[in-house]
Amino acid sequence: MKVFAANWKMNKSPEEARAFFQEFLPLIPLDKNQDQILIFPMALCAESVASAVHPFQSKNLFWGAQNISSEKEGAFTGETSACVLKKMGASFALIGHSERRTLFHESNQFLSLKMKMALQQGLTPMLCLGESLQQRDEGITQTVLQTQLEESLKGVSPSQQVYIAYEPVWAIGTGRVALPEQVRQAHGWIREWLNQHGFSAQTPILYGGSVKPENAKELLMVPDVDGFLVGGASLQAISFAKICGWSV
């Protein structure tokens, strides 16, 4: 099984989200396929995405939140509750996307609270990690990834299901995709860490960062690449369907 996840970031109105599904659903042979398709819309589009996805959940099409609060409910102005997302039909939550880490200063310690909240509320968290260009140039990528895993997964039991998305910061939204060899190495380090800490060998590790229809096929052949987290190229139904491997 491969996992193809669309991170729409702060794009699309509820109406545009509905239009995406009208175009996307006829393109994808959900019946014939074991792969998982996950859509991460802006919270404002949750309802329109939930109703588009609902009839297909048994066919491996799910949606999730781009971010959740570390708190369950209460006086937290502007936050999004994992508990309510679950009630609306969400199945996943992105935790620690690099834009959250850099622009909103979310630390590994803070992200571990969000991981636990997602799991408590019955959402599968997809933990995003990756090194900056400076860290890669300094040769400390493996240490950075290990620290992110260790600190963000603190208090998470290895028996719980998590997904991991490896997204080198320098490849996100830049058009500069990581080389297959760099991806293989990073995914290998992550897989090794997960094994050493008792997480399931089936834990999906997705690659993200400038994935496009033109480079998806090659990257999907890299060992330990279980799918993609796609930003820009997931906004158009046709290009996302091509990344998922369907000839459209």
- The residue among 117, 28, 23, 1 whose CA lies nearest residue 65 is 117
Q: Is 232 one of the binding residues for ligand PGA (CB under 6 A)?
A: yes
Instruction: Show the CA angle centred on residue 162, arms to residues 202 and 95, nearest 5°.
Output: 145
Min separation Cβ 145 and ligand PGA, Å: 16
Out of 230, 241, 243, 244, point to the residue binding ligand PGA (CB under 6 A): 230
Catalytic residue among 99, 106, 131, 167, which? 167
- Out of 41, 96, 130, 231, the residue judged to bind ligand PGA by CB under 6 A: 231
**What 3-state class would DSSP assign to 189?**
helix
Question: Does 73 participate in catalysis according to the annotation?
Answer: no
Give me the 5-34 binding string for ligand PGA, x by CB under 6 A, dash otherwise.
--x---------------------------
> 56 vs 53, 85, 134, 143, 240, CA distance in Å?
5, 18, 42, 40, 17
In whole angstroms, how close is the CB of 73 to ligand PGA at the nearest point? 28
Spatial CA neighbour of 39 closest among 62, 59, 55: 62
Question: Are 11 and 41 within 8 A, CB to CB?
Answer: no
- The contact mask relative to ligand PGA for 53-92 (x = CB under 6 A, - = no) is ----------------------------------------
Using rule CB under 6 A, residue 208 touches ligand PGA: yes
54 is catalytic: no
The single residue among 163, 209, 240, 243 that binds ligand PGA, judged by CB under 6 A, is 209
Instruction: State the catalytic residue, choosing from 97, 99, 106, 131.
Output: 97
Tokens of 57: 């959940």
Q: How far apart are CA 248 and CA 239, in angstroms?
A: 9
Residue list 126-185, contact with ligand PGA (CB under 6 A):
167, 172-173
- Pairing type for strands 124-129 and 163-166 reads parallel
Distance (Å, rounded) from C-alpha 241 to C-alpha 245?
7
What residues line the site for ligand PGA (CB under 6 A)? 7, 167, 172-173, 208-211, 229-233
Q: What residues are annotated to the active site? A: 97, 167
